[in-house]
């Protein structure tokens, strides 16, 4: 994790790490191979989305690197001075890009720069480190998004706030004349920015995912990971019994699932000799029907497999073994 906070993890290394993590998760430290019941990508999803909340290393790597960008934008220090003199050279952070021959550390920062900048906004100081059109500083989105018709024809797209508003009228030139809707958009833009006054001091980047404005790895990770695919239906509901996930997903190692994984044993249910499946074992088998501890709460179908959800009595585990013994006779 220490190295992940300094360098972008190579794809090959990430793949190898995920291989070892998934193998340890499913079979612990045993050398015997065990079945992987769910895709690893699904295991890494948040619990609210049906996963197990295991950290996604690629996302975590991006968040850890972004912390350096926040420090570079807002703080002074020896390493910030070195980076600014070598790579920024008085340019805004957003104007920098990854070039051949740069350090692995700087290359990693450039890989996450766009995502980082999109999750915050600038508080204007002297205006020299903020791009007028492409950074978020006036409102909750960049001006190029608020005024796309103007941005498409502006001559200098990378101009800083200081370059544009230091003169009156605004120091902006376009490749063609403004008419109709473009002219109205220009009047609206001028009205928004003409009241801004530059002041001495650095432009400050404010983090947008918490109220304090300070960056946190946790807030960025939560934002990025929760933008993944959501679990449909009631599986993501906190009131749903967690064990129901296994029934609906069809990942219990019933004999039909084992057979799909090249298991050669008998697929017959040990209680009634019908083919064993999740649907059969928990709903159709005479054991499931006879047990007072199991009841069908509501029915639905997921991927054509399970047509019911088990409502388990909280005291099920206390006398489960004796009930099974009596019903199996």
53-78 confidence digits (pLDDT tens): 888 899 999 999 999 999 999 999 99
**Is residue 297's pLDDT more than 70?**
no
Q: Between the ranges 137-141, 271-275, 305-309, where is the mean pLDDT highest?
A: 137-141
**Is residue 213's pLDDT more than 90?**
yes
Asked if 142 and 136 touch (Cβ cutoff 8 Å), the reply is yes
C-alpha 25/C-alpha 296 separation (Å) is 32
pLDDT score, position 240:
45
How many Cα neighbours within 13 Å face the side chain of 140?
A: 2
Rounded to two decimals, the pTM is 0.72
pLDDT score, position 228:
53
- Verify cis geometry, omega within 30 degrees of 0, for the bond prior to 214: no
Other beta carbons less than 10 A from residue 291's beta carbon? 18
C-alpha 132/C-alpha 58 separation (Å) is 32
Query: DSSP characters for 197-221?
Result: ---SS--EEEESSSTT----HHHHH
Q: Residue count of the chain, please give it.
A: 329
Q: Residue 135 — very low, low, confident or very high, per pLDDT cuts 50/70/90?
A: very high
Q: Residue 249 — very low, low, confident or very high, per pLDDT cuts 50/70/90?
A: low
pLDDT score, position 301:
43
- What value does the mean pLDDT take over residues 291-315? 45
Q: Residue 262 — very low, low, confident or very high, per pLDDT cuts 50/70/90?
A: confident
**Better-predicted residue by pLDDT, 265 or 215:** 215
């Amino acid at each position: 994790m220490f190295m992940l906070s300094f360098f972008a993890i190579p794809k090959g290394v990430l793949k190898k790490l995920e291989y070892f993590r998934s193998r340890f998760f499913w079979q612990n430290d045993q050398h015997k191979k065990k079945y992987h019941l769910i895709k690893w990508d699904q295991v890494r999803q948040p619990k609210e989305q049906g996963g197990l909340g295991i950290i996604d290393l690629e996302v975590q790597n991006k968040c850890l690197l972004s912390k350096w960008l926040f420090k570079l934008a807002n703080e002074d220090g020896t390493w910030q001075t070195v980076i600014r003199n070598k790579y920024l050279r008085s340019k805004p952070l957003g104007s920098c890009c990854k070039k051949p021959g740069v350090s692995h550390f700087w290359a990693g920062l450039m890989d996450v720069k766009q995502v980082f900048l999109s999750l915050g906004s600038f508080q204007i100081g002297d205006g020299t480190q903020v791009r007028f059109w492409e950074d978020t500083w006036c409102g909750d989105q960049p001006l190029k998004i608020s005024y796309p018709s103007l941005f498409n024809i502006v001559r200098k797209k990378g101009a800083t706030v200081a370059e544009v508003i230091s003169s009156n009228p605004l120091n902006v030139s376009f490749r063609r004349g403004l008419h109709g809707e473009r002219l109205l958009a220009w009047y609206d833009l001028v009205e928004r920015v003409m009241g801004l006054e530059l002041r001495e001091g650095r432009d400050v980047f404010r983090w947008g995912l918490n109220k304090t404005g300070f960056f946190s790895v946790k807030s960025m990770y939560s934002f990025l990971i929760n933008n993944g695919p959501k679990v449909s239906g009631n599986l993501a509901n906190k009131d749903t019994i967690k064990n129901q996930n296994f029934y609906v997903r069809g990942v219990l190692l019933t004999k039909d699932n084992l057979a799909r994984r090249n298991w050669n044993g008998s697929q017959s249910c040990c209680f009634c000799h019908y083919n064993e499946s999740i649907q059969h074992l928990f709903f159709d088998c005479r054991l499931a029907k006879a047990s007072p501890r199991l009841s069908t709460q509501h029915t639905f179908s997921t991927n054509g497999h399970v047509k019911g959800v088990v409502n388990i009595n909280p005291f099920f585990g206390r006398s489960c073994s004796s009930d099974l013994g009596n019903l199996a006779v």
